[in-house]
A = this chain, B = another copy of it.
Amino acid sequence: MQVDIVSSRGKVAVQRFSTKNPVFVCVISHTATSEIPGLTIAGANPELVQYTPAADAEFLYYGSCKCISFVPATPDGKPTPAVITRAALRHSGIPAFVVDAGAKVKPSMPLISMNVDPGRNIASANAMDLSTVHREFEYGVLIGMQLGQLSDLVVVGESIPGGTTTALAVLTALGFDAKFKVSSSMPENPHELKNRVVASAIARAGATPGGIDSPLKAISFLGDPMMPAVAGIAEGAMSAGVKVMLAGGTQMTAVLAILKLLNRPLTRLCIGTTSYVTKDTSSDLNGLVGQIAPQVPVLSCNLHLDESGKPGLQAFAAGFVKEGVGAGGVSLAAMLKSKKVTGRKLLKAIEKEYETSIEAPRTSNVSLSHP
């Protein structure tokens, strides 16, 4: 039994998700909702937010970024959780694919393309056409079915700045009580702003809280292009008979709600995240899952980042960033693949990755500018 995995449904649920050959799929997307000032800090400044998904994806494969000359970070320099994801992938030999589901900036790497545009700002327009939502879900199913023939656990993560706001909107429209429950990349969760945006978006769509019963229609009105891709991939892999982990924080509860309301059997599904999300007092992942599909376990991993000497990693434990790019889910997959992989072993790998890709380039930049 892995000491660093906590499950909302007991130890049996952890054992059920043991894996021999997990695969990670990272879905990158953009919603113009993220351009509303104050909603996200997934980028050093508002202009850079749109580069974050592409830069995250490039970081996974290359350990550096191509679309920007540095690693994505918050305005005060806290690095992307892709540092954790990449360390766990490499430590445990887990393959990764990147799905482009409406990324605004395209990363320089091979991409599984869903052929969709970025999502519109839900405060002012429907997020996506309903036909696009349907098509993207179907494409996701096809991808999930292929991966489900190669792997026993498909871990699906995301990088979409602003995604907790669209998640809140979709959950609310579908009748779940998600106010003050979605998480944030900031320690001061801007709940009031999110609630205002969502209330106006629901009114703009001519809907009411709980007034939409079709999950794909809810995405079309109020969601983002990440949602149908992740839901479809999960559905496809489950239909191929394998297990699926939705790797992320409260954004993934919107995907869970979609699958639940599509009447999909959820016995092979779990949510996987970091303990920084499940212990976050400004959001309530377990409460959300309990409302939507209480039988689905929430697994979380303790990566002991509070014990790190690296300030950029300590920050995760202090409530910054917390999760993203499947960091928690891929760390869990590494642990579920081998009992020898503990949180502290991963911490060492993460620190090494941090030294190579965050600290070393920073030092060499300094020496370049001050020769």
Contacts and interface: CB of A to CB of B under 8 A. Distances in A.
Interface of A: 21, 23, 61, 93-97, 99-100, 106, 108-115, 135, 139-140, 142-143, 145-147, 149-151
Contact of A95 (B93, B106, B139, B149): B149
Contacts of A151: 150
Contacts of A135: 108
A25 to B, nearest CB: 10
B112 A142 contact: no
B110 A150 contact: no
Contact of A150 (B95, B113, B115): B95
A108 B131 CA distance: 13
A291 B61 CA distance: 37
A139 B113 contact: no
Contacts of A150: 21, 23, 95, 150-151
B147 A109 contact: no
Contacts of A110: 99, 112-114, 139-140, 142-143
Given A21-B150, A150-B23, A150-B150, A139 B97 contact: no
A283 to B, nearest CB: 32
A238 B96 CA distance: 17
A99 B97 CA distance: 13
A109 B139 contact: yes
Contact of A146 (B21, B95, B139, B142): B95
Contacts of A97: 146
A38 to B, nearest CB: 34
24 contacts: A21-B149, A21-B150, A23-B150, A61-B142, A94-B149, A95-B145, A95-B147, A95-B149, A95-B150, A96-B146, A100-B113, A106-B115, A108-B135, A109-B139, A109-B142, A110-B112, A110-B114, A110-B139, A110-B140, A111-B113, A111-B115, A112-B112, A112-B113, A150-B151
A95 B111 CA distance: 18
A186 to B, nearest CB: 33
A258 B112 CA distance: 26
A100 B61 CA distance: 20
B93 A149 contact: yes
Residue among A97, A140, A145, A150 with max Cβ neighbours from chain B (10 Å): A150
Contacts of A147: 95
Contacts of A23: 150
A140 B110 CA distance: 8
Closest 4 A/B residue pairs (Cβ): A95-B149, A95-B146, A150-B150, A110-B139
Nearest to A240: B95
Contacts of A149: 21, 93-95
Contacts of A111: 112-113, 115
Contacts of A113: 100, 110-113
A170 to B, nearest CB: 23
A128 to B, nearest CB: 17
A146 B110 CA distance: 11
A143 B109 CA distance: 9
Contacts of A96: 146
Nearest to A94: B149
A179 to B, nearest CB: 35
Contacts of A142: 61, 109-110
A147 B94 CA distance: 10
Contacts of A94: 149
